[in-house]
C-alpha cells in the first residue's frame, strides 16, 4: 500500500493537474503560516516590551487579520479543488472499472461473482473520497510545510532547528513501522467487510427459504456472532492504527514541549531574544501538525486505498487478444475439452460438431458440463484445454482468437437464469432488435405462446423492478422472444421450455424449427427430450 500509487496517474488523467495545483497551494500555505506567526509575535513583543497604543499598532492589526483572511481564502480554493478533483478521479476510476467489467474484458466478475464487483464499484470507490479529498492534499502539505517551517526555525535558532531535525524523522519512521502491521490488518478488515456484506446479502436473498423452513429467527444469533467478529477484527486493526497516532502525537507534543523548555532556559541565560523565542514557539507545532494529520487521514483513507488496489488489479488484467473476424458462422467443432473446477473433479467434454440447418441438441445428466460448454461457446470461459474451431465458409479460427465484440454479435442466447435490467417489456425486446416495431414485438411474443393481454400493462409492463408480478415462466418467454429476435447466426437456448406449459411448448418448438430453416445454428440444451426428439443429439457423459 503506497501513499501515492503511480497507477493512479496512469488510470486517472485528472490526477496530474490536481497534484500540481495541490503542490502550489501547499507552498502558499507554508508562506502564509510563517508570515502570520511573525506578525502575531511582533504584536506580542511590541505590547509587552515597549509601551504602545492601539492606534500605533493599527496597521499591524490589519496585517495580522489579512494573513488570516488569506489563509481562509486559500482553504476555500483548496477545498473546492479537492472536491472537484476527488469527484473527477473517482468518476474516471468507476467508469474505467465498469467499462472493463461490462465490456467483458475482465474475468473478475465471472470468478468472484457480481456481489463482490458491485461492492467494489459502489462503496469501494466512494471510500476513495477520503483518500482523494483529505489524504492527498494533506500529503503535499506534510511534504512542504514542515520543510519550510523547519528551515525558518533553524535560521532563527540552531538548537531548536536541531531538535526539529532530530524528532521529525521519528514520525515517518514510526509510521512505516506501524504501517507494516496495519497494512495486513486493513486487508483483513476489507475481507471481513465484504464477507459480512456478502453474508448479509446471502441471508436476505434466502429469507423466503429460511422462512419456509421455520429457520429465519435462528439466524439472528448467527448475525450477531458475525457482527461481533467483525467488531473484534476491526477493533484489533484500530488499536494498532490508533497506537501509531498515539506515538506520533506524543512525539509531536513532547517535541514542542522540549523546544519550549529549551528556549525558556536559554532566555534566562540571555542567549536568545523574546521575539525569537515566541516566534519559534508559535511555529514549532506547525512542523508536526501536518505530519500528524497526514497519518490520521491515512488510516481513514486506508479502506479506499485497499479498494483502489483491487480496482487497479482488475484494470491491469490482461485482455483477450483475439482479433479475427468471421462472416456468418456455419459450423463449429471441438476436440475433447478439459475444464478445471476448484474443489471439484475436472470436467471433460467429449469432442463433437455442430452446424447450421439442423437442431443441435446437447443432452446429458445434470452436472455433465452442458452449461460450461455453452459458456465456452459464448466466450465467457477461455480457461479450458483443447481447441474449439469456428468455421464460416472457407475460413476457420480457434474460438479464442476471435475478436470478442464481433463474435458476440453473431450470438443470441436464452440463459438458464434470466436477469432483466429495470426496463419495460418493449425495451427488453428492443435489446434483441432495436428496429422492431410494436406489432413485430407482439408477433414474436405470440410465437413463444405469450399474448400481450397476459401482461398487466402490455408492452409497457416493467421488468426487473421491486414489484414484478410476472411469473417465472412468463419472464422466460420474454427472454426467449428477445433471443429469437436478434439477427444472429448462432442461437443458444438453455432450457427454453423450463417452467413453460405444454401448449406454449408446442409453440416454442415451432418457433425453433423456423429459426433452423432460416439457416441459423441452433444449440439447444434441454431435459425435455420429447422436444425435438429424433434430431441429432450430442450426449455429454457423466463425469468420469
Footprint of another protein on 83-112 (CB under 8 A)? 83-84, 86-88, 91, 94-95, 98-99, 101-104, 109
Instruction: Outline where DSSP puts E strands in 372-502.
Output: 384-385, 388-392, 395-398, 411-414, 423-424, 462-463, 490-494
List the beta bridge partners of residue 360: 523
Please give the biggest Cα pair distance in the chain.
114
Q: With binding defined as CB under 8 A, does residue 381 bind another protein? A: no
- Distance of closest approach, residue 246 Cβ to another protein, in angstroms: 4
DSSP code at position 343: T
Q: With binding defined as CB under 8 A, does residue 17 bind another protein? A: no
- Give 2 or 480: the residue with its C-beta nearer to another protein: 480
Judged by CB under 8 A, the chain residues 35 through 64 that form the site for another protein are: 40, 43-44, 47-48, 51-54, 57, 61, 64
Q: In the set 346, 351, 416, 536, which binds another protein (CB under 8 A)?
A: 416
Q: Print the binding letters for residues 185-224 with another protein: x by CB under 8 A, - otherwise.
A: ------------xxxxxxxxxxxxxxxxxxxxx-xx--xx
* H/E segment holding residue 399: none
- Contacts with another protein by CB under 8 A: the residue count is 173
C-alpha of 36 from chain center:
43
CA dist., res. 63 & res. 461, Å (int): 69
Q: With binding defined as CB under 8 A, does residue 121 bind another protein? A: yes
Q: In the set 346, 471, 510, 513, which binds another protein (CB under 8 A)?
A: 471
Q: With binding defined as CB under 8 A, does residue 155 bind another protein? A: no
List the beta bridge partners of residue 354: 332
- Distance of closest approach, residue 429 Cβ to another protein, in angstroms: 10
Q: Which of 433, 430, 421 lies closest to 462, judged by CA?
A: 421
The radius of gyration of the chain's CA atoms, rounded to the nearest angstrom, is: 34
- Give 3 or 367: the residue with its C-beta nearer to another protein: 367
- Give 144 or 479: the residue with its C-beta nearer to another protein: 479
Q: Which of 489, 329, 321 lies closest to 401, judged by CA?
A: 321
* HSE value, Cβ hemisphere, 13 Å, CA-based, for 158: 1
List the beta bridge partners of residue 423: 463
CA dist., res. 250 & res. 465, Å (int): 55
CA dist., res. 398 & res. 374, Å (int): 16
- Distance of closest approach, residue 6 Cβ to another protein, in angstroms: 25
Judged by CB under 8 A, the chain residues 318 through 377 that form the site for another protein are: 341-345, 363, 365-371
Q: In the set 67, 135, 298, 312, which binds another protein (CB under 8 A)?
A: 67
- Distance of closest approach, residue 181 Cβ to another protein, in angstroms: 16
- Distance of closest approach, residue 481 Cβ to another protein, in angstroms: 12
User: Which residues lie closer than 8 Å to 410 by C-beta, 6 or more apart?
Assistant: 326, 328, 329, 488, 489, 490
Q: With binding defined as CB under 8 A, does residue 24 bind another protein? A: no
- Distance of closest approach, residue 179 Cβ to another protein, in angstroms: 17
**Contact call for residues 264 and 284 (beta carbons, < 8 A):** no
Q: Print the binding letters for residues 217-256 with another protein: x by CB under 8 A, - otherwise.
A: x-xx--xx--xx-xx--xx--xx--xx-xxxxxx--xx-x
DSSP code at position 395: E
Among the residues of 317-369, which ranges form H helices? none
- Give 59 or 155: the residue with its C-beta nearer to another protein: 59
**Contact call for residues 372 and 394 (beta carbons, < 8 A):** no
- Distance of closest approach, residue 165 Cβ to another protein, in angstroms: 19
Q: In the set 482, 484, 489, 491, which binds another protein (CB under 8 A)?
A: 482
What SS3 state is found at 412? strand
Q: Among the candidate windows 10-18, 142-150, 180-188, 403-411, which touches another protein by CB under 8 A? A: 403-411
Q: With binding defined as CB under 8 A, does residue 520 bind another protein? A: no
Q: With binding defined as CB under 8 A, does residue 6 bind another protein? A: no
Q: With binding defined as CB under 8 A, does residue 31 bind another protein? A: no
- Give 447 or 476: the residue with its C-beta nearer to another protein: 476
Record the cell numbers describing residue 515, joined without a space: 429459426
Amino acid at each position: 500500500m503506497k501513499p501515492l500509487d503511480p497507477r493512479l496517474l496512469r488510470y486517472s488523467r485528472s490526477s496530474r493537474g490536481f497534484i500540481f495545483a495541490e503542490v502550489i497551494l501547499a507552498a502558499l500555505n507554508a508562506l502564509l503560516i510563517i508570515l502570520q506567526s511573525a506578525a502575531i509575535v511582533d504584536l506580542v513583543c511590541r505590547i509587552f516590551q515597549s509601551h504602545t497604543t492601539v492606534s500605533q499598532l493599527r496597521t499591524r492589526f490589519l496585517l495580522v487579520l489579512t494573513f488570516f483572511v488569506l489563509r481562509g481564502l486559500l482553504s476555500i480554493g483548496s477545498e473546492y479543488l479537492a472536491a472537484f478533483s476527488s469527484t473527477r478521479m473517482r468518476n474516471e476510476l468507476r467508469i474505467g472499472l465498469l467499462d472493463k467489467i461490462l465490456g467483458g474484458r475482465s474475468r473478475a466478475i465471472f470468478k468472484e461473482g457480481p456481489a463482490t464487483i458491485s461492492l467494489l464499484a459502489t462503496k469501494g470507490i466512494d471510500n476513495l473520497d477520503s483518500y482523494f479529498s483529505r489524504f492527498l492534499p494533506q500529503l503535499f502539505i506534510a511534504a512542504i510545510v514542515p520543510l519550510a517551517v523547519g528551515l525558518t526555525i533553524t535560521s532563527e535558532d540552531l538548537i531548536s532547528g536541531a531538535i526539529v531535525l532530530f524528532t521529525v524523522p521519528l514520525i515517518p519512521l514510526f509510521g512505516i513501522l506501524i504501517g507494516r502491521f496495519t497494512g495486513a490488518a486493513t486487508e483483513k478488515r476489507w475481507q471481513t467487510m465484504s464477507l459480512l456484506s456478502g453474508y448479509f446479502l446471502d441471508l436476505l436473498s434466502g429469507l423466503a427459504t429460511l422462512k419456509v423452513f421455520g429457520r429465519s429467527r435462528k439466524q439472528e444469533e448467527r448475525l450477531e456472532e458475525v457482527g461481533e467478529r467483525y467488531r473484534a477484527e476491526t477493533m484489533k486493526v484500530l488499536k494498532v492504527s490508533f497506537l501509531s497516532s498515539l506515538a506520533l502525537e506524543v512525539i509531536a507534543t513532547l517535541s514542542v514541549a522540549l523546544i519550549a523548555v529549551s528556549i525558556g532556559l536559554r532566555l534566562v541565560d540571555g542567549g536568545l531574544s523574546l521575539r525569537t523565542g515566541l516566534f519559534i514557539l508559535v511555529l514549532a507545532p506547525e512542523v508536526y501538525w501536518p505530519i500528524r494529520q497526514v497519518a490520521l487521514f491515512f488510516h481513514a483513507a486506508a479502506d479506499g486505498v485497499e479498494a483502489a488496489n483491487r480496482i487497479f488489479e482488475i484494470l491491469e488484467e490482461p485482455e483477450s487478444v483475439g482479433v479475427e473476424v468471421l462472416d456468418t458462422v456455419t459450423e463449429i467443432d471441438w476436440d475433447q475439452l478439459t475444464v478445471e473446477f476448484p474443489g471439484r473433479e475436472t470436467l471433460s467434454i467429449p469432442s463433437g460438431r455442430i452446424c447450421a440447418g439442423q437442431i443441435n441438441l446437447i443432452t446429458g445428466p445434470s452436472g455433465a458440463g452442458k452449461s460450461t460448454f455453452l459458456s465456452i461457446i459464448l466466450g465467457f470461459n477461455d480457461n479450458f484445454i483443447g481447441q474449439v474451431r469456428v468455421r464460416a465458409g472457407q475460413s476457420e479460427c480457434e474460438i479464442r482468437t476471435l475478436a470478442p465484440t464481433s463474435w458476440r454479435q453473431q450470438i443470441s442466447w436464452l440463459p438458464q437464469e434470466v436477469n432483466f435490467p429495470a426496463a419495460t417489456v418493449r425495451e427488453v425486446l428492443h435489446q434483441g432488435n432495436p428496429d422492431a416495431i410494436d406489432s413485430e414485438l407482439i408477433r414474436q411474443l405470440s410465437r413463444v405462446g405469450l399474448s400481450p393481454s397476459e401482461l398487466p400493462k402490455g408492452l409497457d409492463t416493467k421488468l426487473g423492478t421491486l414489484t414484478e408480478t410476472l411469473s417465472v415462466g412468463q419472464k422466460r418467454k420474454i427472454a426467449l422472444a428477445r433471443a429469437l429476435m436478434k439477427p444472429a447466426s448462432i442461437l443458444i437456448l438453455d432450457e427454453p421450455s423450463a417452467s413453460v406449459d405444454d401448449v406454449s411448448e408446442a409453440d416454442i418448438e415451432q418457433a425453433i424449427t423456423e429459426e433452423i430453416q432460416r439457416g441459423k445454428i441452433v444449440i439447444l440444451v434441454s431435459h425435455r427430450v420429447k422436444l425435438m426428439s429424433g434430431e441429432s443429439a450430442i450426449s455429454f457423459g457423466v463425469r468420469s
